[in-house]
Amino acid sequence: MSVQLQTLLLLTLCLSGTHGNSWGEWNDSQLQPTIQKLMKGYNRYLRPNFNEGPVEIGMSLDIASIDAISEINMDYTATIFLRQRWRDSRLVFPGNESVSVDGRLVSLLWIPDTFIPDSKRSFLHDVTVENRLIRIFSNGTVLYALRITATIACNMDLTKYPMDRQVCTLQLESWGYNLQDVVFYWTRGNDSVKGLDILRLAQYSVESYYTSVSEAVYETGQYPKLVLHFALRRNVLFFILETYVPSILLVVLSWVSFWISQSSVPARVCIGVTTVLTMTTLMMGARTSLPNANCFIKAIDVYLGICFTFIFGALVEYACAHFYNMQNQTIEDVYRDLLREFSESNGNGSIPIVSSNQPNQSVEIGSTAEELTEQSANSATRNNVLSIEKVSGQGCSLSSVKEVSRRAASAFTVENPHNIDRRARTVFPTAFLFVNILYWLYYLFL
């Protein structure tokens, strides 16, 4: 019982001391008449300085956090501490002290109708009570602070994504009072905004910020407006490791087929098709976090398109090399059959060979290969002479068109298909390196 009595006595002394000096030099007898005097005759529906000029309202912000930045919705979600100061001559009281009243008494005072015009969703925190602060100074200055979380629109230019730099704004306007009623200003200029310097974001870093004062012009009049501008630079390292490096490795992997024999059809086709499908999957995954329908051709889309072109080009290169290889093998088989028939013949037989321009001509096969070569050369000479005579005699006749077509087709004939792979080993890496230099110079420095 003695311990309980001592505790009760201690609480009584503390409460009595706090009750007597809770407002500095004021005692309880002075406090109640002062509050009653301030509220007596006070009309919260009339702004201060009514019919005497506009009310000057100073603003300051503390950015507690920027929770999310969405490229799909083009907005960001931020939690801010908004502080507003103005002077109300009806709330002047004697002394040099300030009075902090309960936030629930805000309904008894006049407060500005400040709002965020670009806000999509917003709410006032109410745990454990509504996060409001009202402090009245002896000269009539009122400090009104509140904690807000808002989702605010931000127009983004994604043409250089992910090497982009976005400039977002936070605007504060008066809803009903125009410039003849209220005037907004930043209390300390750029220093009125705190918290952006130490803010840490997942994909962005705050590059710079500044404040400005402007006017919002609507059909109903001109209204005061304060704007906070802040620039966000995206951290590209994540995208380099997530998208750029895998796409480069896929391009390099497609070049491995240049060192595989052209006769290994399953191996080269497997590498080509696998890299194409993997690149397609990578392109689809890179677009999941971006708007599906927009007018932006993003930098990452350009790079993935370049990589896909090189990978698909490697697959087409093998198709061309394999085609010419099979064509040359067919010619070699025909020549081999001719030699076999030549060796089996009696020595004076003739094997008719139909050419594209003279179908009735035949080659007489002698007893030696030299005669065959000489006869072929003579036949080619005669063909050229006949072609020249026909062109000179008939002009642009059908035979001359066939001759030009034959020569144009022969220009695309590859004597050694293995040279295609040898040249591709140099052309593909050199072209990819050159395109990369142009790409990074344009998107990083222009």
Report the alpha-carbon distance of residue 258 to residue 318 in Å, rounded.
8
Report the alpha-carbon distance of residue 83 to residue 85 in Å, rounded.
7
- When pLDDT is averaged across residues 361-380 and rounded to a whole number, the result is 44
Superfamily the domain 238-331 falls into: Neurotransmitter-gated ion-channel transmembrane domain (1.20.58.390)
Number of other residues whose CB lies within 10 A of the CB of residue 204? 20
Residues 6 or more apart whose CB falls under 8 angstroms from that of 353 comprise 361, 362, 363
Lowest mean pLDDT among 55-69, 225-239, 310-324: 310-324
Q: Which two tokens stand for residue 133?
A: 């602060």
The confidence score (pLDDT) of residue 417 equals 74
Report the alpha-carbon distance of residue 269 to residue 257 in Å, rounded.
9
- Residue 111: which pLDDT band, with cuts at 50, 70 and 90? very high
Give kind and range of the element (H or E) at residue 278: helix 265-286
Every domain range in the chain assigned CATH 2.70.170.10 = 32-234
Query: In this structure, which long-range contacts are made by residues 240-243, counting pairs with CB atoms below 8 Å and at least 24 apart in sequence?
Result: 243/282, 243/286, 243/300, 243/304
DSSP labels, 110-172: ----EE-TTEEEEEE--SSS--EEEEEETTSEEEEEEEEEEEEE-----TTTTS-EEEEEEEE
Q: What is the pTM of this model?
A: 0.71
**Chain position carrying tokens 């035949």:** 362
Check: CB of residue 169 under 8 Å from CB of residue 232: no
Q: What is the pLDDT of residues 7-51, one digit of tens each?
A: 333 333 333 333 333 333 444 444 455 666 777 788 889 999 888
Return the DSSP state at 190. G
Return the DSSP state at 106. G
In the chain, % of residues over pLDDT 90: 49
Q: Which two tokens stand for residue 167?
A: 């400039």
Every domain range in the chain assigned CATH 1.20.58.390 = 238-331
- The separation between CA 198 and the C-alpha centre of its own chain, rounded to angstroms, equals 24
Residue 394: what residue type?
Q
Indicate if the alpha-carbon torsion angle 158, 159, 164, 167 is positive or negative: negative
Give kind and range of the element (H or E) at residue 372: helix 369-394
- Annotation: CATH topology of 32-234: Acetylcholine Binding Protein; Chain: A, (2.70.170)
Q: What is the pLDDT of residues 172-228, one digit of tens each?
A: 999 999 999 999 999 999 999 999 999 989 889 999 999 999 999 999 999 999 999
